[in-house]
Amino acid sequence: MNDSQYNFIADELLLAVEEAIEDCGTDIDYEGVSGLLELSFKNGTKIIINKQAPLHEIWVATKFNGHHFAYQDEQWIDKRGGDEFWQFLSAAVSKQADTDITLEQP
């Protein structure tokens, strides 16, 4: 994957996360700026999702740990645990919001 392909795919992912947060029915604030998306929860915790362009990865920092996702077979896969991005993010958001939330790619 070249840089322009990565940037297109990564930007599409960040926009899809924003749409999924809007549609999830839970009050989660978000702000996206220059390849970084910050999700803020009522309990004061945050999840930070950001592009790591030199590595062609997406990094996710939660209250509990950080994960690096690489694009493989048309999916973002966690390099540490092998989780698919949307499954991981749903679990992380649910944990930090203290309610069951399923985020899906629009």
- The confidence score (pLDDT) of residue 37 equals 96
Residues 53-82 have a mean pLDDT of: 94
Convert the pLDDT of each residue in 1-46 to its tens digit. 899 999 999 999 999 999 999 898 888 999 999 899 999 999 999 9
* Percent composition of the chain: helix, strand, coil (DSSP 3-state, to 5): 35, 30, 35
Phi–psi pair at 89, nearest 5 degrees: -65, -40
- Return the CATH class of domain 3-96: alpha beta
Tokens for 98, please give them: 């203290």
How many angstroms separate the most distant Cα atoms in the chain?
39
What does the alpha-carbon distance between residue 90 and residue 60 come to, in Å, rounded to a whole number? 12
Can you give the residue ranges of every domain in the chain?
Answer: 3-96
At residue 106, does pLDDT exceed 80? no
Nearby residues of 95 by Cβ (< 8 Å), 6 or more positions away: 62, 63, 64
Task: Report pTM.
Answer: 0.90
